[in-house]
Amino acid sequence: MANSVTDNSRRRFLKRSTLLASGSLLVGFQIPVQAANKPAAYQDSLTSLMADAFIRIDSDNTVTLLMNHAEFGNGVYTSMAMMVAEELDIDWQLLRWEAAPTEPRYYSPIFGEYLTAGSVSTAGAFIPMRTAGAKTQALLLQAASLFWQTPATSLTTRPGQVVHPDGRRVNYGDLLPVIRDHRLQAPETVTLKAAKDFKILGQSQKRLEGAEKVTGEAIFGIDVKRPNMIYGSVVRPPVYGSKVVRFNADQALSMPGVIKAKAIAAGVVVLARDYWTAQKAAKTIQVTWDDGGLGVLSTERFLDDYRALSNSPGMLAEDIGNALEVTAAAETVFESVYEMPYLAHATMEPMNCTAQVNADHCEIWVGTQYQSNDRTLVARLLGFKEEQVTIHRTLMGGTFGRRASKTADFITDAVEAAKGETVPVQIIWSREEDIRGGHYRPLFVHRMRGSLDDQGYPEAWHQTAVGQSIMQNTKHDPAYMVNGIDIYSVDGCLQNPFGVFPYGTSYQIPNHRVESHNPPKVGVHPHEWRAVGHTHTGIAYECFLDELAFHGKKDPLSLRQHLARDHDRMSAVLARLRIEANWDAPLSAGRGRGVAARIYSISPIAQAVEVSVSGDGTFTVDKVVCVVDCGFAVNPLGIEAQIQGGVMLGLNAVAYGAIDMVDGQVQQSNFHDYRPLRFHQMPEVEVHIIQSDAAPTGVGEQATTPIAPAVANALFNATGRRVRQFPLDRHGFTLKA
């Protein structure tokens, strides 16, 4: 554990120091060591010292990293710690982490907001965290140099300590007084290690917060306990978006332990001494709702409307060559309609938030991906200034995008409930509320038309995407909506992509036309869901490509290799996949192989799957081989976990996932009818990472998409039957229970 050394000169020195007992040393990369210029600040609270820093060294020798990306299973805390540790010689046992506060200096350098999303955290942190580590290391060497009156160049470090040429050592924490007394500052610029010299980055590192996740000590939002805290359960409307007209809580209020019932925007909240009591009482409340006419909506009707729309011209996202003329002139035009349902995120930890609202301050404890937006919206709700709202970010029991809420919906619930109360209020969503919570991967219809050249290769491609826009009429509208087209609606389908995430398909088809319709945003709140647009565009694109391969008598993987031949990184991924998946080996009857490939947030990824299908359509996924090029692989172990997780979530969705609405009401409610993938259904997932010196890019969402079309393609390969409507279990193929 702690490194303790005896060093008499150090002890004498420390005795002279009057500042030993106080605080911390902060080092940041944006404003170098402001704290060192302000000794008085050391008397301040820790919070005030965190202003511009990523690394804190305390006098007990702990090194605390201020994490400005959220940890929800993505492994980003571990990656960020590795980045720091590559430059700063850290004793891993003395390493601590905290969620960095909601201040602009901690905003994502990629988004300009405090947002963890888009599989870009590793890319965004790669330079800042290494720089912070290098500056801290330089500062400590400088301090030790003064401490021993020895040139800094003669000093070395070991984890947590600077080492004198004669073998003496000093703990980092014991150098704090030197830094203060001499008002030392980290250098303005540092030279970062070259990749060839990395000792930590690129090596598999176990999860930084792994231990607390096996002992039950990890604190998720739902685990927050505050003095005198009470609990709330919200009666939400059966039709999402309805408003409370009136309610009767007489029975609820007569129950022991029930404190209060009141209307908030989301419904009626019941406050009680424990969550069970609140939930039980909530069930007795009678609410009259105004559904604003939304009670007539149904997903069947949406599908009918979208199918019709897909036959009419949409907004033109891309028109390369002349797909309309080529298909009009073609002898045979292949046409398919793909339909993907709404999907709920169903994170294992249901939405929750704890809030305390005083006259001039609001404090919030929550697992969130998007705390700058949360703070803005809470401040607006309360009529506060942003600095009157403090958000304490906890760990998250999954998110898959749900906890990056553009409306801060699960946070404002708690703030509204806590407003007017003198104690903190924790709102927990029941699983039913969570599944019926209205925030879904949008339902999409893609009409695909294509024709082949005389060699059997795709010559024309005409795709029309129809589904509710995620970004339309949101604060992100200007950046993500280009000429009315939500880039998420056609994500990964364009050969000349545009917008803020310009990553299209790796394929080149000479005539390529993509259109998009934004049907009305009613009934639900279309929301990002791990891999966002790709979750539906990827199925349509990669399955229809498979159809064209079949009609053109091409091997599906060979066709992709042909179409991606000008894309070096994807070509390498596909070539590797061919080998690792043993693609060309024969399969026995009843078995099938399928492939799909995508680029998501720069990283090319491809998967090959093997399925076994019995006569009644019951199938198993026997093996998934995944090859990914995510640039420099910061933590191979973490990458493997993300790929396995993405595969599982994508397979789960394609096998079972669907949210249906009838008369405006979501039909699913819990894990019996919104079925999770079970333990024994998880295929073996083999992960191969392309070795690369390119800047690191994402892996968090990349694996979610290819698995779905790869499985559908493999089922076709095994049976000759093509599924174009999802989930599979409604269309003849049931994942073995």
Partner 1 sequence: MLKIHVNGQSHEVDASPDTPLLWILRDHLHLTGTKYGCGVSLCGACTVHVDGKATRSCAIPIAAIGNQKVRTIEDLATNAPGAEATDYHPAQAAWLAEDVAQCGYCQSGQIMAAVALLDSNPAPTDADIDSAMAGHVCRCGTYQKIRAAIHRAAKQQRGI
Q: Please state the closest distance from residue 61 (CB atom) to partner 1, in A.
A: 15
Stretch that binds partner 1, among 97-105, 237-245, 423-431, 550-558 (CB under 8 A): 423-431
Q: Which of 213, 380, 475, 736 binds partner 1 (CB under 8 A)?
A: 213
Stretch that binds partner 1, among 113-121, 357-365, 428-436, 469-477 (CB under 8 A): 428-436
Q: What is the CA radius of gyration of the chain?
A: 28
Stretch that binds partner 1, among 32-40, 207-215, 301-309, 592-600 (CB under 8 A): 207-215
Q: Which of 107, 275, 289, 302 binds partner 1 (CB under 8 A)?
A: 275
Question: Which token pair is 647?
Answer: 């595969």
Is 5 a residue that touches partner 1 (CB under 8 A)?
no
- Residues in the chain, total: 737
Q: Which of 11, 183, 206, 736 binds partner 1 (CB under 8 A)?
A: 206
Q: Which of 200, 524, 577, 685 binds partner 1 (CB under 8 A)?
A: 685
Angle (deg, nearest 10), helices 636-656 and 534-551: 80
Query: Which amino acid, residue 725?
Result: Q
Exposed, middle or buried by CB within 10 Å (0-12, 13-18, 19+), for 502?
A: exposed
Please identify, using beta-carbon distances, which residue of 315 and 649 lies nearer to partner 1. Answer: 649
Kindly write out the interface string for residues 215-254 of this chain, putting x where it contacts partner 1 by CB under 8 A and - elsewhere.
xxxxxx-xx-x-----x-----------------------
Is 645 a residue that touches partner 1 (CB under 8 A)?
yes
- Evaluate the CA torsion angle 403, 409, 413, 415 in order and state its sign: positive
Is 346 a residue that touches partner 1 (CB under 8 A)?
yes
Q: Please state the closest distance from residue 254 (CB atom) to partner 1, in A.
A: 13
Distance CA(455)–CA(697), nearest Å, equals 36
Q: Which of 180, 207, 525, 527 binds partner 1 (CB under 8 A)?
A: 207
Phi, psi of 438 (to 5 degrees): 80, -10
Quickly list DSSP for 318-387. EEES-HHHHHHH-S--EEEEEEE-BB----SS--EEEEEE-SS-EEEEE--S-HHHHHHHHHHHHT--GG
Is 348 a residue that touches partner 1 (CB under 8 A)?
yes
Read off the DSSP letter of residue 443. P
Is 304 a residue that touches partner 1 (CB under 8 A)?
no
Size of the site for partner 1 (CB under 8 A): 64
Kindly write out the interface string for residues 7-26 of this chain, putting x where it contacts partner 1 by CB under 8 A and - elsewhere.
--------------------
**From its phi and psi, is residue 12 left (phi > 0), alpha (psi between -120 and 50) or beta?**
alpha
Kindly write out the interface string for residues 377-416 of this chain, putting x where it contacts partner 1 by CB under 8 A and - elsewhere.
------------------xxxxxx----------------
- Evaluate the CA torsion angle 626, 630, 631, 636 in order and state its sign: negative
Is 531 a residue that touches partner 1 (CB under 8 A)?
no
Is 646 a residue that touches partner 1 (CB under 8 A)?
yes
Question: Which token pair is 212?
Answer: 């607390």
| Number of H-type helices and E-type strands within the chain | 20, 32
Residues whose CB is less than 8 angstroms from the CB of residue 165 and which lie 6 or more positions away in sequence, other chains included: 150, 154, 155
Task: Please confirm whether the linkage preceding 727 is cis (ω < 30° from 0).
Answer: yes
Beta bridge partners of 338: 446
Residues whose CB is less than 8 angstroms from the CB of residue 72 and which lie 6 or more positions away in sequence, other chains included: 116, 367, 369, 395, 396, 397, 398, 399, 403
Please identify, using beta-carbon distances, which residue of 307 and 431 lies nearer to partner 1. Answer: 431
Q: Which of 256, 478, 586, 615 binds partner 1 (CB under 8 A)?
A: 256
Kindly write out the interface string for residues 485-524 of this chain, putting x where it contacts partner 1 by CB under 8 A and - elsewhere.
----------------------------------------
Please identify, using beta-carbon distances, which residue of 318 and 640 lies nearer to partner 1. Answer: 640
Is 192 a residue that touches partner 1 (CB under 8 A)?
no
Q: Please state the closest distance from residue 199 (CB atom) to partner 1, in A.
A: 20
Please identify, using beta-carbon distances, which residue of 1 and 194 lies nearer to partner 1. Answer: 1
Please identify, using beta-carbon distances, which residue of 273 and 730 lies nearer to partner 1. Answer: 273
Q: Please state the closest distance from residue 679 (CB atom) to partner 1, in A.
A: 4
Is 687 a residue that touches partner 1 (CB under 8 A)?
no
Is 350 a residue that touches partner 1 (CB under 8 A)?
yes
Is 117 a residue that touches partner 1 (CB under 8 A)?
no
Please identify, using beta-carbon distances, which residue of 223 and 318 lies nearer to partner 1. Answer: 223
Is 60 a residue that touches partner 1 (CB under 8 A)?
no
Distance CA(103)–CA(38), nearest Å, equals 20
Exposed, middle or buried by CB within 10 Å (0-12, 13-18, 19+), for 491?
A: buried
What's the Cα-to-Cα distance from 413 to each of 160, 236, 269, 684, rounded to whole Å?
44, 11, 9, 41
Please identify, using beta-carbon distances, which residue of 470 and 649 lies nearer to partner 1. Answer: 649
Q: Please state the closest distance from residue 699 (CB atom) to partner 1, in A.
A: 12
Q: Please state the closest distance from residue 649 (CB atom) to partner 1, in A.
A: 7
Question: Which token pair is 457?
Answer: 């290769």
Is 274 a residue that touches partner 1 (CB under 8 A)?
yes
Phi, psi of 262 (to 5 degrees): -155, 155
Q: Please state the closest distance from residue 668 (CB atom) to partner 1, in A.
A: 12
Q: If we measure between CA atoms, which residue out of 520, 536, 535 comes closest to residue 448?
A: 536
Q: Which of 263, 682, 694, 695 binds partner 1 (CB under 8 A)?
A: 682
Strand locations in 223-351, DSSP E? 230-235, 243-248, 258-264, 267-272, 286-290, 315-320, 334-340
What residues make contact with partner 1 under the rule CB under 8 A? 1, 72-75, 206-207, 209-220, 222-223, 225, 231, 256-257, 273-277, 280, 346-350, 395-400, 428, 430-431, 637, 641, 644-649, 652, 670-672, 676, 678-680, 682, 684-685
